Structure 1
Amino acid sequence: MASETSKDYLIKFGHHLQALRKSKNLSFRKLAAKCDLEHSDIKRYEKGEINMTFSSLFELAKGLEIPLKELMDF
């Protein structure tokens, strides 16, 4: 059984984040306006290109108006 790499987790998280954002009918810019993040960073999170800080996770949950647990359930 192959172990998942950090990159695999970033990509899975990104797909989950994108699904949550779209379910709320939010563009990158609208989500960024609701939290203290740049829209370009949100795009990169969704693509699994960059890792995020713990505070970024809190900001995303706040902007999506969901509990942090729901954001992390991917």
Structure 2
Amino acid sequence: MQNGAKKKGGQIKGGKKRRNEQGIITLAHNVKKYRKQKGLTIAELANKLDLDYSQISRIERGVVNATVSMIFDISDFFEISPQMLLEEFKPDKD
């Protein structure tokens, strides 16, 4: 196995799966951050994007991944690039 990945339950833990999980968590954090900056509730954002409340809620909780189409719709609404929704927060170094 490569890069210290461990086998668990017949699947290799780490690698691509780990990157996908981090991407979902990053997206979840950023959607919530931008929604709160606009002063919107989950229901209000869902309504403006013509999505179901539960879809936004699950994205923000990192339970599901958004489709590419959803990422573009969300970024258009917030007037940011899709890349900004997918960028991991990195604190400034002193």
Q: Distance in 2 between matches of 1:65 and 1:39?
A: 21
Q: Distance in 2 between matches of 1:65 and 1:54?
A: 16
Structure with greater proportional helix content:
1
**Greater Rg over alpha carbons, structure:** 2
Question: Unaligned 5+ residue runs, structure 1?
Answer: none
Paired-residue identity, %: 31
Q: Distance in 2 between matches of 1:47 and 1:23?
A: 17
Matched, 1:16 2:30: yes
1:45-64 → structure 2 map (5 Å cutoff): 45-64=59-78
Instruction: Report how far residue 27 of structure 1 moved.
Output: 0.6
Note if contact 2:75-2:81 (Cα within 8 Å) is conserved in structure 1.
yes
Instruction: Report how far residue 11 of structure 1 moved.
Output: 1.2
* CA offset digits 1:5-32 (Å, max 9, x no partner): 1122211220111111101101111111
Note if contact 1:14-1:48 (Cα within 8 Å) is conserved in structure 2.
yes
Structure with greater proportional strand content:
2
Q: Which has the higher contact order (CA 8 A, sep 6+)?
A: 1
Note if contact 1:17-1:71 (Cα within 8 Å) is conserved in structure 2.
yes
Question: Unaligned 5+ residue runs, structure 2?
Answer: 4-13, 89-94
Q: Segments of 4+ in structure 1 off by > 6 A? A: none
Q: Matched residue of 1:20: which SS?
A: helix
TM-score (norm 2): 0.65
Letter in 1 for 2:40: L
Matched, 1:65 2:92: no
